[in-house]
Structures are given as C-alpha cells and as structure tokens.
Amino acid sequence: MSNLSRLLKESWTLVEEQQDKVAGYFYARMFLDNPQLRDLFPVQMDVQRSRLLGAIVTAVQTSGDPDRFADYLQALGRDHRKFHVEAQHYDIVGNALIEALRTFAGDEWSYEYEQAWRDGYAAIAHKMIEGADADNANPPYWHAEVLHHERRSRDIAVITCRPMQPLEFRAGQYVSVETRYQPRLWRAYSMANAPRKDGSIDFHVRALGAGWVSSALVRRVRPGDMIRLGAPMGSMTLDRRSTRDIVCVAGGTGLAPIKALIEEMTRANRTRWVHVFFGARDRDDLYDLDCLNRLAARYPWLSVVAATSEDPESPGEHGNISEIVGSYGPWQEHDFFVSGSAAMVRATLRTLAEMQVPAMRIKYDTFGDS
Ligand SMILES: Cc1cc2nc3c(=O)[nH]c(=O)nc-3n(C[C@H](O)[C@H](O)[C@H](O)COP(=O)(O)OP(=O)(O)OC[C@H]3O[C@@H](n4cnc5c(N)ncnc54)[C@H](O)[C@@H]3O)c2cc1C
Ligand code: HEM
C-alpha cells in the first residue's frame, strides 16, 4: 500500500462512524458559502442518501494512482457537465470536504492527513476537469424524445427514445437519464442496442419499489415526453481484437447491455461462439426471452439458456443464474460479460473465480451498490 493510500485509509477511520454528520456538515459548508451551488443538486435532497460525498470519498480512497483510472475520471468529468459543474466548483467542493473531515476527526487529525486528502482530491479533480474541457464539442446533455414505451412485465418497461442531437456511444455502455418528473435526479441506464442509423436508443428499466427515477420511467413516462441523457460511460465493450468465444451472464434488466453487445456482433461476428445466460425471478421477468430466442434461431453462433430462481413450473433451467453458469463450462478460455444486480454480479464473479476464469477476461457492470 502506498504512503498516500495508508494516510487516506487511516484518517478515514477517524470519521467513518460519523458519516451522516460529516455529510451534513459538508453540504451545509458548501451551500452556506455558495448558495448558487444548491441549484445543481436534486430538489428533494436527503443528505443521508445524497451521492456526492460518498462518491468523492470512494474515488479518493480507491484511485491512489489517478493515471490508472484516467479514462473513468475523464468520463466522469465529462458526465458532470450535465449537472452544470464548472472548473471553479472543484475547489469549493474540495475545501468543504477537507473542512468536514477536519471538524469530525478530532485531535488526531494531522497536517499529513490533510495534505493526503488535498493531494488525492486534487489529482482526481484535475482528471475530471481535463475530461470536461476535452468534451466542449458535445452538449452537456442530450434532449431525447420518447418514441415508444412498452410495459413488458409488472415492473419492467422497454423504452425507445431519440436524442435531438447525435449521441455517439458503443454497445455495452450506459448513460444517465433524468425525467421531468424528478428534476435533477439522474440514474444510469444501459443502452440496449448497438448504435443505429436513425440514432434511436432502447432502454430496459425495472421499477424498484421506492425508486424515484426507475418508477417514473416505468410508470409515468409516455411517448412524446422529453427526457435528458448524460454522456455515455462504461467500458463493458467488445474487444474486437479478441478471438475468444464469449459468455454473457445477465440478471433481469442486466440484459440491456448484453443485448447491445449481441446486436453489435450480429453485424460482424462469424467466428466466435456466444453463450448467453439470462436469469430472472420468474417467467414474467424473462421479459425479452422471445427476442433472444429469435436471434439464436437466426445466428448459429448464438445460444441462449434462460433460468428462473423462484418459478419452479417455468420452462428452462431453475436456480440462480450464477449457479447455472457454473454447471456448464469449462470457461477458462472465454471472454465474459456480466451485468445485473450487485448480488447477482458478486455471485457470478465468485463462481467464475472458482472455475479459474482469469479476472482480466471478465467485464461487468453492477446495477447497484457493489
Ligand atoms: C452502470 C449502471 C447501469 C445500469 N443500467 C440499468 C439498466 O439498464 N436498467 C435498469 O433497470 N437499471 C439499471 N441500473 C440501475 C439504475 O441506475 C438505478 O439504480 C435504479 O433504476 C434505481 O434507481 P431509482 O432512482 O429508481 O432508485 P433510488 O431512488 O435511487 O433508490 C434505489 C435504492 O432504493 C432501495 N430500494 C428501493 N426499492 C427497492 C426495491 N424494490 N428493491 C431493491 N431495492 C430497493 C435500494 O436500496 C436502492 O439502493 C444501472 C446502474 C448502473 C450503475
Ligand atoms: C473529485 C471530485 C468529484 C468526484 C469524484 C465526483 C463523483 C461523483 C459521482 C461518482 C457521482 C454520482 C453518484 C451516483 O449517482 O451514483 C456524483 C454526483 C454528483 N456530483 Fe460529483 N464528483 C466530484 C466533484 C463534484 C463537484 C465539484 C460538483 C459541483 C458542485 C459535483 C456535483 C455533483 C452532483 C450535483 C451530483 C448528484 C448528486 C445527487 O444526485 O445526490 N461533483 N459525483
């Protein structure tokens, strides 16, 4: 562990148990000194659930080497343009962060700790600002018109929209989405198609019980509505130089980026076998299985295994999708794409580790706290 990482970790333990208070102080400091910044944040702002402080602390703690995370941090900075964040805001946020840490750490806070946070934060902020500056040719976000809205199950909808300006992305990436029903609340959703000539984009969204944005997307958004999309992010994309066969593991609407990757492969692939494992609780949640089966009937390199975990009468396999993947194989020579809830991704990564699949061959996106 580098000296910087050690200092960051050590000093964080001084405030860790008072995170809510640190967050309260951090936002109060920021908004008291700069009331205009309040307008960048969601209308109904619950400090405990607000994401910025936690996101910064995680970023500073984990990216001891910002060059290694340069692509992600630049994309994050680019994405922050949608919040109307400008370069001068970074110092304000950085100072509020340090002051909050110092206030709650007590007597053990030292000059060394403070410098470690300043250095860690500055390195990350620098990369984010670089990313935002390099993106000036693009709009800070894209307005998109909802063209179709189809309920596929109790709580899943497939939504097609078309951005008003060209939005370039790669299959497997995601964007953040905001609806007019929850202004300034943005959540990530994966594009469920490869780029199309007409620019339209599909999203597969599951409404989480009390979830703000997903409920609005599934239950309120209608054709004709405008939504806003942030800059594309994510590296769960196809390595076109690889010749290895592919395994895709999707849980629920985790199918979205997998579907985009399959669509990309229908345009070029002739040589790689692609095995898709699609898991859900019950047959109702296998909301796109018919389409996957049609693709498998058309493309001989594609095979699909569907499984339900809570529907013993449904056709196909039964059990958690991570276990089902483990019962096939061997998979040591395959490239993997894994996408779904945090629990599903974790369980699948465990199975793959047990099957000795090298970690560097696995790309994954987690749809929640990992
Ligand atoms: C890279 C990435 C890509 C994603 N792609 C997709 C996608 O393609 N499709 C998709 O549907 N989602 C996707 N997600 C998840 C999505 O971003 C949101 O997290 C999700 O829709 C919930 O947002 P929300 O505003 O509705 O919920 P929030 O208001 O943020 O609340 C969510 C939180 O509430 C809790 N919660 C409330 N109700 C429930 C419930 N019924 N079950 C479990 N927890 C609950 C959980 O603690 C959860 O953390 C993706 C996430 C990431 C990070
Ligand atoms: C090192 C600096 C920063 C990092 C690492 C960072 C990281 C992040 C991340 C990862 C999120 C998304 C969390 C999520 O939705 O899951 C986020 C949200 C946000 N960030 Fe930043 N950020 C930084 C600086 C800033 C600055 C300077 C501003 C300007 C005020 C800002 C404003 C916001 C806002 C408004 C949100 C949404 C908050 C919410 O929905 O509750 N960020 N940040």
- How confident is the model over 274-279, as a mean pLDDT? 98
Is residue 370 scored above 60 in pLDDT?
no
CB 265 within 8 A of CB 237: no
How far, in Å, CA of 308 to CA of 280, rounded? 5
> What pTM did the predictor assign?
0.92
Distance 3 CA to ligand 1 centre (A): 36
CB of 208 shorter than 6 A to ligand 1 = yes
> Which of 45, 153, 185, 189 for a ligand 1 pocket mutation test, highest count of atoms within 8 Å of Cβ?
189
Give the ligand with the smallest distance to the CA of 158.
Answer: 1
Q: What is the pLDDT at residue 64?
A: 64
Q: What is the pLDDT at residue 42?
A: 86
Give the ligand with the smallest distance to the CA of 220.
Answer: 1
CB of 368 shorter than 6 A to ligand 1 = yes
CB of 363 shorter than 6 A to ligand 1 = no
Distance 79 CA to ligand 2 centre (A): 9
CB of 210 shorter than 6 A to ligand 1 = yes
- How confident is the model over 173-190, as a mean pLDDT? 95
Across the chain, which distance is largest between two alpha carbons, in Å?
68
Closest residue by Cα to residue 246 from 192, 287, 304, 193: 304
CB of 204 shorter than 6 A to ligand 1 = yes
Closest ligand 2 atom, residue 90 Cα: 27
Distance 198 CA to ligand 2 centre (A): 32
Can you list the domains of the chain with their CATH numbers? 3-134 (1.10.490.10), 142-229 (2.40.30.10), 246-366 (3.40.50.80)
127-152 residue pLDDT tens = 999 999 999 899 999 999 999 999 99
> Which of 80, 101, 126, 212 for a ligand 2 pocket mutation test, highest count of atoms within 8 Å of Cβ?
80
318-331 residue pLDDT tens = 999 999 999 998 99
Distance 370 CA to ligand 1 centre (A): 12
Is residue 66 scored above 70 in pLDDT?
no
349-362 residue pLDDT tens = 999 999 999 999 99
Amino acid in the structure at residue 196: R
CB of 214 shorter than 6 A to ligand 1 = yes
Q: How far is CA 18 from the centre of its chain?
A: 27
Closest ligand 1 atom, residue 49 Cα: 30
CA distances for 296 relative to 24, 246, 262, 335, angstroms? 52, 14, 10, 19
On the 0-12 / 13-18 / 19+ scale of CB atoms within 10 A, 241 is exposed
Give the ligand with the smallest distance to the CA of 189.
Answer: 1
CB of 89 shorter than 6 A to ligand 1 = no
CB 203 within 8 A of CB 125: no
200-220 residue pLDDT tens = 999 999 999 888 999 999 999
CB of 213 shorter than 6 A to ligand 1 = yes
Higher per-residue confidence, 92 vs 57: 92
